[in-house]
């Protein structure tokens, strides 16, 4: 694995702790290389499908060491997990892995499948694990870097700096919770600020050794195009068959 010298072109101008949320895709990995931060986190989504567990025992041990529990499967391309492990070696800085309830547990608890009207999958399996880690590790407003490029800068407008969380459960009724809302992060979008687009990122990774999947994040995501989902059926049929059964 080749080494890279970190770029210091984004010096911290405030006292907020900085966090980079990684997806294992090219854009957030590009940020990990070029923008030094205090913490880097990767939230791993799991499904209870043992056929998605890697046969490479060393690779499996590395994943379980990171998540500190048995690995039961994932709806993400397994290449994504290897990218995150290799990225840590590439930048020479630690990446914290987090994981929440499995997709299967979440579907049972909600008695529903996530969809465009109820996107609770991202909240429960990505945001809440990161929030819980933040609460224990930082506990005050942080500056969170997210991989939004100039060619998708409209996403910055809907970035939510607050989160609602279950603060307590009532002693009466069923699934009744007391909710609180807290501002826990400030959005930081250096790729938008510096005018960086997809072609520039693709060019950067062209001669590097990280083997990125064709489709990052959950292979089954309802935000993916029909063409992308069809491609994922070819690349990861076990994951797509799991989703079809659900």
pLDDT of residue 172 exceeding 70: no
Q: What is the overall mean pLDDT for the chain? A: 91
Spatial separation of the C-alpha atoms in residues 116 and 120, rounded to whole Å? 9
Residues 208/68, Cβ–Cβ less than 8 Å: no
Residues 60/52, Cβ–Cβ less than 8 Å: no
The whole-number pLDDT of residue 173 equals 56
Token reading at 187: 């959005």
- pLDDT more than 70, % of the chain: 91
Spatial separation of the C-alpha atoms in residues 65 and 71, rounded to whole Å? 10
pLDDT of residue 38 exceeding 50: yes
Least confident of 51-60, 104-113, 173-182, 201-210: 173-182
Q: Is 183 helix (H, G, I), strand (E, B) or coil?
A: strand
Spatial separation of the C-alpha atoms in residues 58 and 39, rounded to whole Å? 26
pLDDT of residue 184 exceeding 60: yes
Q: What mean pLDDT do residues 122-147 have?
A: 96
pLDDT of residue 12 exceeding 70: no
Q: What mean pLDDT do residues 167-174 have?
A: 63
The whole-number pLDDT of residue 170 equals 63
**How many CB atoms sit inside 10 A of residue 186's CB?**
14
Name, in order, each residue with C-beta under 8 angstroms of 4's C-beta and a sequence gap of 6 or more.
Answer: 33, 90, 91
Q: What mean pLDDT do residues 42-46 have?
A: 98
Token reading at 195: 């005018």
Domains of the chain, earliest start first = 18-168+176-212 (3.40.50)
The whole-number pLDDT of residue 236 equals 97
């Amino acid at each position: 694995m080749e080494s890279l010298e970190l770029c210091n072109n984004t010096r911290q101008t405030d006292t907020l702790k900085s966090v980079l949320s990684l997806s294992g895709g090219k854009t957030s990995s590009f940020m990990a290389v070029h923008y030094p931060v205090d913490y880097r986190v990767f939230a791993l989504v799991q499904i209870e499908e043992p056929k998605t567990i890697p046969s490479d025992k060393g690779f499996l041990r590395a994943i379980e060491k990171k998540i500190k529990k048995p690995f039961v499967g994932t709806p993400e391309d397994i290449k994504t997990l290897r990218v995150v492990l290799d990225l840590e070696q590439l930048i020479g800085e630690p990446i914290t892995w987090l994981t929440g309830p499995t997709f299967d547990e979440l579907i049972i608890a909600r008695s529903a499948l996530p969809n465009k009207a109820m996107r609770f999958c991202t909240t429960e399996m990505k945001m809440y694990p990161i929030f819980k880690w933040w609460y224990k590790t930082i506990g005050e407003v942080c500056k969170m870097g997210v991989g939004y490029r100039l060619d998708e800068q409209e996403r910055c407008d809907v970035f939510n700096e607050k989160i609602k969380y279950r603060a307590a459960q009532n002693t009466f009724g069923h699934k009744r919770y007391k909710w609180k809302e807290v501002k826990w992060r400030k959005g930081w979008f250096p790729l938008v600020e510096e005018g960086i687009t997809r072609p520039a990122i693709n060019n950067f990774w062209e001669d590097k050794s990280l083997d990125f999947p064709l489709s990052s994040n959950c292979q089954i995501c309802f935000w993916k195009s029909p063409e992308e989902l069809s491609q994922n059926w070819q690349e990861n049929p076990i994951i797509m068959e799991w989703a079809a059964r659900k």
